[in-house]
Structure 1
Amino acid sequence: MTDQITPSGSSPDPKQLSLFDEDELDIADYLRQEAEPPPEHGPRQGFAALTLGAIGVVYGDIGTSPIYAFREALRPVTDADGVNRAEVLGLLSLLIWTLILIVTVKYVIFLLRADNRGEGGVLALYTLVRLAIGRRSIPVLALALMGSALFFGDAILTPAISVLSAVEGVELVMPSLDRFVVPATLVILLVLFLVQRGGTARIAVLFGPITLVWFLVLAGLGLWHIGENPEVLLAFNPLYGLRFLVSHEIVAFTVLGAVFLAVTGAEALYADLGHFGRPPIIVAWLALVFPALVLNYLGQGALVLADPATVADPFFEMAPKSALPFLVAMATAATVIAAQAVISGAFSMARGAMQLGLLPRMMIRHTAQDQSGQIYIPAINWWLLFGVMWLVIAFGSSSALASAYGIAVTGTMVITTILVILYVWQSGRLPLIGAILVALPIAVLELAFLASNLVKVADGGYVPLAIGAVMAVVMWAWWRGTQVLLARAHKQSVPLASFVRSMARTSAQVVPGTAFFLSPDPEVVPTALLHNLKHNRVLHEQVVFLTVESLRVPYAEPEERASYEKLSDRFGQVILRFGFMETPNVSRAMGAARRAGLKFDVMTSTFFLGRRRAVAAGQPGFGRALDRLYALLSRLAADPSDYYHIPRDRIVELGERVAI
């Protein structure tokens, strides 16, 4: 049986998606986990600790942008006819106002308020829109698919360009080491991905302090050079940026793509909302991150004005020769932290996609007992490692990778803006025209950035587009196949209410104990029960229909975790609910089922699972190709017993082949 979403014909709760399946686990773990409290989620630390954590995790990516953003923005101008005062001030103005409009206005002031029970990110925003609409919308689903797919493209590019750009600083310390830049980068990245298996909870406590020092270094270097040339403060005047765009019509489009590198990582403000909360993220940005970034960019501009020879790498040239090794070490540490944050974000995104039925089940391991967000997904980890390694080897330098970077981020930002407009409109906060007018300035700016990045498709921009396209096809094939499979199974199903009434006069032999029959649809009889009656002619003295539902909210509240309904003297129904940011754990949730009224003996209970093996049988064409992909993905999906955590030694599986 495959992960399934309740079709519209079964009239599900509009706040929920039913995508259960089949599963198992060890009886000792069952007894232990049932007594354990669930892992905590959301902010639980003090405000200062959360703010420090946000500095390390939320802003790790955007904090490494000064290493390459200003350098890449200068490159098109320098290649044309050198660089002059007006051009430097114009580029600085564009960088500063991009940070103000995209990060401060869009994300910090507005988007952080659009949370789903404290959670953010493109999937959380999608669920908000879906709930506001009140029905399934294929266009909205397509936006969520594209946004998620582009995020995975960004998750591959960020570690590659961040770490590579930092390690390249050793060339200034010792030029003879340039041939070791790529090998050293590969080693650092390999170690980073290998340690994911054991979790990063222990070393994560260092992320905040290290990144805090990093931002202080950025600000200090910037202030030092601004003091030597305070004229760069004129860049706060947006007219300098506008004049640059008007007077550089030929290269302005290319420059915009490079300027956008300054805000890569801004999406993390929204995606990590549930981990730290709105106030710590806002305070960290306004009190430290934003001032440090602006000061550093202004300092780089002041250095270039004072010494045009530093235009090739103004960031590392800011430090005196004696302090350069320290700066390279700090930059490397900061980029590793930024890469780690993106990897963790990819794990969270994948888990949410699985729970919403957009990806097949994959093995999820919790690496910290007290934090549900600390997870490790082996399949995603090794896929990311392969992609990152290939990018470093294929492109060889951060400048080459810069051409590929940006498309995924700008695409995700544009999709986020569209979803926000739909949410504000559908939730009744503003009429459609009003929502569009409010978002129009940001949308126009983001579309300009997206268009400027699309120009670089041939120079490497095809990479995130290709990755995003592959991921989008995979997610669409899985969602589509799941819908088709459940719809066909539903046509042949037996209504649960009539079945329970008919079984009052059954001639089947009754055996002691409790049988849990897992069902993706709480309104029909599980096929595993029908097959068991047909072939074995036995029925347990207590039969419980067990359905696991994925809510359209990040986390289920304790009171909504489980519900139990007694259908007759012999039959009962349990529904277990998990948020889309939770890992379904049936063993632990059975404690909540007991509190809801279910009575059973663990030692005399058996779980019956129905496995459906999908077989592509349609007419040749694109639909048939998607069906074949779905069938392949269903075979590669993680064992449901491990995914749902059900007692492994109390499982009976019954299988069937279903044509789609």
Structure 2
Amino acid sequence: MNSRQMPVDDTEFEDGSGHKSAPALVLGALGVVYGDIGTSPLYAFREALHASGQTEGLVDGAQILGLLSMIVWALTVIVSIKYVGFVLRADNRGEGGTLSLMTLARESAAGRPVWILILGVIGASLFLGDALITPAISVLSAVEGLQVVAPQLSNWVVPVTVTILAGLFFVQRFGTGGVAAIFGPITALWFLVLGLTGVIHIAEHPGILAAISPHHAIGYLFNHSGIAVIVLGAVFLAVTGAEALYVDLGHFGRRPIITAWFGLVFPCLLLNYFGQGAFVFTHPEQVAHPFFGMQPDWAKLPMVILATLATVIASQAVISGAYSLIRQAMHLNLLPRFDIRHTSETQAGQIFMPQVNLLLFVAVVILVINFRSSSNLSAAYGIAVTGEMLITAVLLFVVMRNIWHWSLLPTIAVTIPLLAIDTSFFIANAAKFAQGGWVPVVVACTVAVLMQTWVSGRKLLAERTRADEVPLEGILGSLAQRQVPTVPGTAVFLTSDIEGAPTALLHSLKHYKVLHEQNVILGVMTSTSPYIADEDKIFLESFNPRFSRMIITFGYMETPNIPRALVLAKKLGMKFDIMATSFFLSRRTLIPSARKGMPFWQDRIFIALAKNASSATEYFHLPTGRVVELGIQVAI
């Protein structure tokens, strides 16, 4: 969930051409892809123990085996089978993630059904709800190790957590490129330590390995049906972060992600969970904090430090993932333009979004202060992730049928069991709604309402604007019949409706009563593909020696840069000098009205979103000294 770039060939090694080697990609995937799921051992087994009613000094061996078996098979089915086996294959030209899968499924379905768009919006909204909880619960769970090392420091857990999070969000403005270079090695060390500590305690009680058999999980669910839902909700904590495998597909490629999973992450996670189970068997008084309790005294403080580093890395990955998802939503016109600052000269995906960063920081700190412990926060964790996984399974069904061309029977045979498992976990987590599960739901609903308002508002605004526009052919015919004074240079008129005469052009003629020697009607479109090749970016047609129309198409993962795209237009015969080119924009002032459209409250939200959107000058990277903005009022 970190920075994005063009998909790389994950079969190549460093050859002097700038491609990362396969081992480097595997190491990078450890830090970015598996940071979240890699910190789950801090709290997942502990919460499962608490949910099953295990108390200090009194544990039930059969229940321990049942809990571990559920964790083992949750990791196996959801991560190894669902995501590694199927979802990673559903790439949108190398890119993954909810919005990528949504665009892929929608493009493949006849009529581009709206329900697929709605699912994509809900999935993206749920991810942002998850992005708030992950930093809070991860860092809290690591810092809580201080309670084991020095119980007198318990009151410092929350202040230390807030301080670490404040530092993490503060450094976002400086970019994560340099820090990301050490993410992989630290996370690799973390997984090796997880595996080693697990092996040590498994050796003390080898019988714990019997939990590999699924009959222990099935038996637990049948014999403890009264608390099965609550326990499933806790067990699911072991697989939170699985969606990152798909989200970061475009950054690392499928093979490095799979290699990292089966080569290190999956074995070490299993060893650690088995080790925790063996430790609780032999030390039932340590049920409260089995992860830190299983460490020898001399290693407790170093483990707290390493765990804190691992959770910071996991949090960083989620924060960067939120940036990337919001940027995708912006380019797909699901959200207004936010300020994007590039923190790397070489990696387009290394971005910082000040407004998003501030909102995330405030929300995460509020969660930490209000819930105060990872156990309390665990109730809020899960609904967003399980909801997103359910949506992924549904969209995967569409992809299997329409793109992979599977017949109905094998498609059902694969997706129905996955949907059944995802639904079971969703219901289990929904049971925790009152205890904190409402948090991601409120966040997701808020984001979904904002997206729906922005989409509906833009459509309404386009209709209002189009009603007042003059057809382009009409204005060109009128200009051809009369002599209009010309001035040297090129004028580029940006418009969202390439069939109509841009409002900026009409106002320019009205006020200045002159034309430039060369006038370009420019429309910018976003493709449902993540990237567009240079040779396909520009469409140029000439109406007459003075007027031409250009359409620039960017992929939804690309940064729209008009000056750079205009350089490509020179290959198509367009002659211009950027220093003799003026860009004319229409700045609309929106005012609410009683006209039929959206409800009044939604009008106000849309207007507020529009006011806080970054300017077209910044978004399209236009040279500020060459931009002319003409204002108009539009009632919606």
TM-score by length of 2: 0.95
Does structure 1 residue 156 correspond to structure 2 residue 132?
Answer: yes
Note the aligned Cα RMSD (angstroms).
1.6
- Hey, what does 1:51 align to over in structure 2? 26
- Hey, what does 1:113 align to over in structure 2? 89
8 Å Cα contact 1:77-1:83 kept in structure 2: no
Aligned pairs for 1:476-515 within 5 A: 476-515=452-491
TM-superposed deviation, 1:538: 1.4
1:640 aligned to 612, 616, 619, which one? 616
- Hey, what does 1:62 align to over in structure 2? 37
Could you tell me which runs of 5 or more consecutive residues in structure 2 were left unpaired when the two chains were aligned: 9-18
TM-superposed deviation, 1:592: 1.1
User: Which of 107-116 and 561-570 deviates more?
Assistant: 561-570
State the secondary structure of the residue aligned to 1:249. Answer: coil
One-letter code aligned to 2:476: V
Aligned pairs for 1:35-434 within 5 A: 41-43=6-8, 44-78=19-53, 82-133=58-109, 135-427=111-403, 429-431=405-407, 434=410
One-letter code aligned to 1:67: L
8 Å Cα contact 1:40-1:370 kept in structure 2: no
Cα shift readout 1:375-396 (whole Å, capped 9, x = no counterpart) = 1111110000001000000000
Quick one: distance in 2 between partners of 1:387 and 1:149? 15
Quick one: distance in 1 between partners of 2:231 and 2:173? 40
1:598 aligned to 569, 574, 581, which one? 574
8 Å Cα contact 1:168-1:178 kept in structure 2: yes
Quick one: distance in 2 between partners of 1:624 and 1:136? 29
8 Å Cα contact 1:421-1:432 kept in structure 2: no
8 Å Cα contact 1:407-1:464 kept in structure 2: yes
TM-superposed deviation, 1:594: 1.5
TM-superposed deviation, 1:448: 0.5
8 Å Cα contact 1:508-1:533 kept in structure 2: no
Quick one: distance in 1 between partners of 2:69 and 2:108? 39
- Hey, what does 1:516 align to over in structure 2? 492
TM-superposed deviation, 1:326: 1.1
Cα shift readout 1:529-580 (whole Å, capped 9, x = no counterpart) = 1122233321111111111111111112121222322221111122222111
One-letter code aligned to 1:41: M
User: Which of 556-565 and 315-324 deviates more?
Assistant: 556-565
- Hey, what does 1:569 align to over in structure 2? 545
Quick one: distance in 2 between partners of 1:133 and 1:154? 29
8 Å Cα contact 2:460-2:597 kept in structure 1: no
TM-superposed deviation, 1:450: 0.5
One-letter code aligned to 1:125: L
8 Å Cα contact 2:457-2:598 kept in structure 1: no
One-letter code aligned to 1:609: L
The count of aligned residue pairs is 622
Quick one: distance in 2 between partners of 1:422 and 1:489? 36
8 Å Cα contact 1:611-1:655 kept in structure 2: yes
Cα shift readout 1:60-114 (whole Å, capped 9, x = no counterpart) = 0000000000000010222589531110000000000000110011111111111
State the secondary structure of the residue aligned to 1:430. Answer: coil
Classify 1:491/1:134 alpha carbon distance in 2 versus 1 (closer, same or farther; 3 Å): farther
Quick one: distance in 2 between partners of 1:619 and 1:420? 41
TM-superposed deviation, 1:428: 6.2
Higher relative contact order at CA 8 Å, sep ≥6: structure 1 or structure 2?
1
One-letter code aligned to 1:72: E
Quick one: distance in 2 between partners of 1:432 and 1:491? 46
Quick one: distance in 1 between partners of 2:566 and 2:245? 35
One-letter code aligned to 2:214: P
Structure 1 segments of 4+ aligned residues over 3 angstroms from their partners: 79-82, 431-434, 618-622
8 Å Cα contact 2:5-2:250 kept in structure 1: no
Quick one: distance in 2 between partners of 1:658 and 1:437? 53
One-letter code aligned to 2:528: R
State the secondary structure of the residue aligned to 1:572. Answer: strand
Cα shift readout 1:356-404 (whole Å, capped 9, x = no counterpart) = 0011101101111111111111111000000100000000000000000
Does structure 1 residue 459 correspond to structure 2 residue 435?
Answer: yes
8 Å Cα contact 2:221-2:228 kept in structure 1: yes
Quick one: distance in 1 between partners of 2:597 and 2:577? 51
8 Å Cα contact 2:54-2:60 kept in structure 1: no
- Hey, what does 1:26 align to over in structure 2? none
TM-score by length of 1: 0.92
Classify 1:480/1:310 alpha carbon distance in 2 versus 1 (closer, same or farther; 3 Å): same
Quick one: distance in 2 between partners of 1:89 and 1:461? 27
TM-superposed deviation, 1:619: 6.2
TM-superposed deviation, 1:434: 4.7
Aligned pairs for 1:507-586 within 5 A: 507-586=483-562
